[in-house]
Structure 1
């Protein structure tokens, strides 16, 4: 089953580059990243509530909180750099 999710991840990642390159035309890369982040935020919390797993938030350890926050910061930095690179470079090369 993991293979299916890994394959879908690769497909969606490829679509991300194509869709973002078209969508970022004439838009500041930081603004585009913020818009994308809002969509991901709504989608992620939607899945949490759809699967009724929001109650597990209180069981998260301090260590997990720390590493999830650090991972989020790294993701944000990655997306900011990615969108800037995508704005000034060819999507196929980025």
Structure 2
């Protein structure tokens, strides 16, 4: 049985893969920045419905300043990532852009060591090296 985090991570990867395919088709004939805006508005509407349906709405004023700061930084990083991703998808092949985008996996591992004090095992470092190698093989073909 898949543990909870692994189940959700596999679903995330599956939806991310579909995102690349759907976005590549949807970007035909539209500016990538405008397409990102449309996508973002739709995501907000879907999440409003989802959070309401599950009864998870909270008063945002109850969140700490630190929470607001880091969620805001995360939102800026997400927006910048989406803008760059859609621009790359519009210009390149989905089969190249999406794997290079997954270099984020390597960067997360590096940033987690630097900023969060995480310590990957030797096996995890080997996996990170393999991902890096794969990304470079795709990007530099």
TM-score (ref. length: structure 2)? 0.64
- Whether 2:70 is the aligned partner of 1:67: answer yes
Instruction: Give the C-alpha shift of residue 53 in structure 1.
Output: 1.7
Counterparts of 1:79 and 1:26 in 2: how far apart (Å)?
Answer: 18
Per-residue deviation, residues 5-34 of structure 1 (Å, max 9, x unmatched): 111001000000000000001110011000
- Specify the alignment match of 1:93 in structure 2: 96
Q: CA RMSD in A?
A: 1.0
Counterparts of 1:89 and 1:9 in 2: how far apart (Å)?
Answer: 23
- Specify the alignment match of 1:6 in structure 2: 9
Equivalent residues in 2 for 1:1-40, closer than 5 Å: 1-40=4-43
- The count of aligned residue pairs is 94
Runs of 4+ in structure 1 off by over 6 angstroms are none
Counterparts of 2:5 and 2:77 in 1: how far apart (Å)?
Answer: 24
- Structure whose alpha-carbon radius of gyration is higher: 2
Instruction: Give the C-alpha shift of residue 57 in structure 1.
Output: 2.5
Counterparts of 2:36 and 2:58 in 1: how far apart (Å)?
Answer: 29
Instruction: Note the residue ranges of structure 2 that are not aligned, 5 or more in a row.
Output: 98-141
Secondary structure of 1:84's aligned partner: helix
Instruction: Note the residue ranges of structure 1 that are not aligned, 5 or more in a row.
Output: none
